[in-house]
């Protein structure tokens, strides 16, 4: 289907983009890579009257280190994150997650900001962003605010972002020594989206005792979540396969897992445990 007609704007600064969003409240949509918005528009699930294409705001594409944080612009593409030498050195979990997204075309166009704001319950980035305890910088007419990733995801396709705000930056705290990360997913064969995906950030001491752990899970519920019960079962424990296996079984405890054409609720819950265990083992091997 052809999208309904719209007026197109290509601002060159964040302020210009914010001005347009405020000028057309509830009728304007931000366009980044277009890989989620355009399919929605073609199906007429989204019919914005005004498109604000932020693709020319080059300041939003940077990937850099500042103080104790990695700062990632919302417009950084999946490919630029996958291939960044800085991320491979400082936070390989991000490169690994980017490499797991869709195919080459999707990774060349799609952006981390677009993926987070779209909040597809099967998207890959939210798992890694939650596991890494990232912060998201949102800018609106009244200034900026910074949200923890866990406060950003509200429900299926719904975030805490207001219609007149832009997500401009994702901030990743520095990882301490002896930290390993892993992202593993069972993917849907046609699109690559996660049926279940688990990202782990794990810090151990010299005796392999778990000092810090963050586990982000996508695909299982209507929104991505931190597997806190697994984290609590691991913290302070000397990690071996039995401890990891017991904790991982709690990955979807207390949740109503989604059920669809690709996987039943029971199967998704089972996969959540299996992939949590595998991701923890992979992260531990790297942490050592
Ligand atoms: P857009 O489509 O441009 O925008 C998405 C939404 O976010 C829109 O509502 C837009 O208004 C809003 N938005 C975008 N940027 C901002 C911003 N900075 N501030 C405020 N609002 C903003 N994803 C996966 O995670 N895993 C996969 O395996 C996967 N496979 C895919 C396969 C195919 C064939 C396709 C088409 C997509 C796939 N995707 C997958 C989705 C892909 O990663 C998209 O690129 C991503 O979800 C959206 O990013 P985008 O830059 O294209 O955003």
Is pTM beyond 0.85? Reply is yes
State the pLDDT at residue 76.
98
Tell how strand 50-53 and strand 7-9 pair up: parallel
201 falls within a domain? yes
Q: Which two tokens stand for residue 13?
A: 């600064």
Of the pLDDT bands very low, low, confident and very high (cuts 50, 70, 90), residue 245 is very high
Spatial separation of the C-alpha atoms in residues 213 and 221, rounded to whole Å: 21
48 falls within a domain? yes
**Which of 17, 37, 53 is the C-terminal boundary of a domain?**
53
**Residue-range definition of the domain harbouring residue 37:** 7-53
What's the mean per-residue pLDDT of the chain? 97
**Residues 23-34 as b or e (16 or more Cβ within 10 Å = b):** ebeeebbbbbbb
Of the pLDDT bands very low, low, confident and very high (cuts 50, 70, 90), residue 191 is confident
State the pLDDT at residue 15.
96
194 falls within a domain? yes
132 falls within a domain? no
Q: Percent of the chain having pLDDT more than 70?
A: 100
State the pLDDT at residue 65.
97
- Ligand 1 atom nearest the C-alpha of 124 is 25
Q: Which two tokens stand for residue 47?
A: 């019919």
pLDDT at 190 over 90: no
Q: Which two tokens stand for residue 14?
A: 């964040």
Tell how strand 143-148 and strand 135-140 pair up: antiparallel
Q: Give tens-digit pLDDT for 123-166.
A: 999 999 999 999 999 999 999 999 999 999 999 999 999 999 99
DSSP character for 209? B
Spatial separation of the C-alpha atoms in residues 254 and 280, rounded to whole Å: 21
Q: Give tens-digit pLDDT for 86-135.
A: 999 999 999 999 999 999 999 999 999 999 999 999 999 999 999 999 99
Long-range contacts of 237-245 (CB under 8 A, 24+ apart): 237/209, 237/210, 238/207, 238/208, 238/209, 238/210, 239/204, 239/208, 239/209, 239/210, 239/280, 239/284, 240/208, 241/281, 244/277, 244/280, 244/281, 244/284, 245/277
Q: Percent of the chain having pLDDT more than 90?
A: 97
The CA–CA distances, whole Å, from 205 to 92, 183, 281, 282 equal 20, 21, 15, 16
Spatial separation of the C-alpha atoms in residues 192 and 166, rounded to whole Å: 27
Of the pLDDT bands very low, low, confident and very high (cuts 50, 70, 90), residue 36 is very high
Reported as half-sphere exposure (CB side, CA atoms, 13 A), residue 197 has a value of 31
CATH number, domain of 17, equals 3.30.43.10
State the pLDDT at residue 288.
84
Q: Can you tell me whether residue 212 is helix, strand or coil?
A: strand
Rounded to the nearest angstrom, the distance between the alpha carbon of 66 and the centre of ligand 1 is 26
CATH number, domain of 242, equals 3.30.390.50
Q: Can you tell me whether residue 246 is helix, strand or coil?
A: helix
Which residue has its alpha carbon closest to ligand 1 atom 11? 30
State the pLDDT at residue 213.
98
Structural domains of the chain, count: 2
Spatial separation of the C-alpha atoms in residues 227 and 189, rounded to whole Å: 25
As for ligand 1, residues whose beta carbon falls within 6 Å of it are: 29-37, 74, 101-102, 106, 110-111, 113-115, 117-118, 120, 123-125, 161, 166-167, 191-193
Q: Which two tokens stand for residue 24?
A: 């057309």
Spatial separation of the C-alpha atoms in residues 46 and 207, rounded to whole Å: 53
126 falls within a domain? no
- Ligand 1 atom nearest the C-alpha of 75 is 18
pLDDT at 1 over 90: no
Rounded to the nearest angstrom, the distance between the alpha carbon of 279 and the centre of ligand 1 is 25
Spatial separation of the C-alpha atoms in residues 265 and 131, rounded to whole Å: 23
Mutational test site, ligand 1, from 9, 32, 39, max ligand atoms within 8 Å of CB? 32
State the pLDDT at residue 183.
98
Rounded to the nearest angstrom, the distance between the alpha carbon of 208 and the centre of ligand 1 is 38
């Amino acid at each position: 289907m052809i999208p309904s007609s719209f007026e197109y704007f290509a601002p060159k600064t964040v302020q210009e983009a914010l001005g347009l969003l405020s000028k057309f409240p509830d009728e304007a949509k931000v366009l980044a890579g277009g890989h989620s918005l355009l399919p929605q528009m073609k199906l007429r699930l989204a019919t914005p009257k005004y498109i604000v294409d932020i693709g020319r705001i080059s300041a939003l594409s940077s990937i850099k280190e500042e103080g104790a944080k990695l700062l990632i612009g919302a417009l950084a593409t999946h490919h630029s994150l996958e291939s960044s030498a800085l991320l491979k050195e400082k936070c390989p979990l991000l490169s690994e997650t980017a490499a797991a997204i869709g195919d080459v075309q999707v990774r060349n166009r799609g952006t981390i900001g677009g993926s987070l704001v779209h909040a597809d319950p099967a998207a890959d980035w939210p798992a890694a962003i939650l596991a890494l305890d990232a912060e998201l910088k949102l800018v609106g007419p009244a200034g900026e605010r910074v949200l923890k990733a866990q406060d950003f995801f509200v429900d299926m396709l719904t975030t805490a972002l207001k219609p007149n705000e832009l997500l401009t930056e994702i901030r990743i705290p520095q990882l301490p020594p002896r930290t390993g990360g892993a992202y593993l997913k069972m993917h849907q064969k046609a699109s690559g989206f996660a049926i279940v995906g688990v990202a782990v950030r794990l810090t151990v001491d010299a005796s392999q005792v778990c000092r810090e752990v963050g586990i982000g899970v996508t695909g299982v519920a209507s929104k991505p979540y931190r597997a806190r019960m697994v984290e609590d079962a691991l913290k302070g424990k000397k990690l071996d396969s039995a401890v990891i296996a017991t904790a991982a079984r709690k990955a979807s405890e207390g949740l109503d897992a989604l059920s669809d054409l690709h996987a039943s609720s029971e199967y998704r819950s089972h996969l959540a445990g299996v992939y949590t265990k595998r991701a923890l083992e992979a992260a531990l091997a790297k942490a050592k």
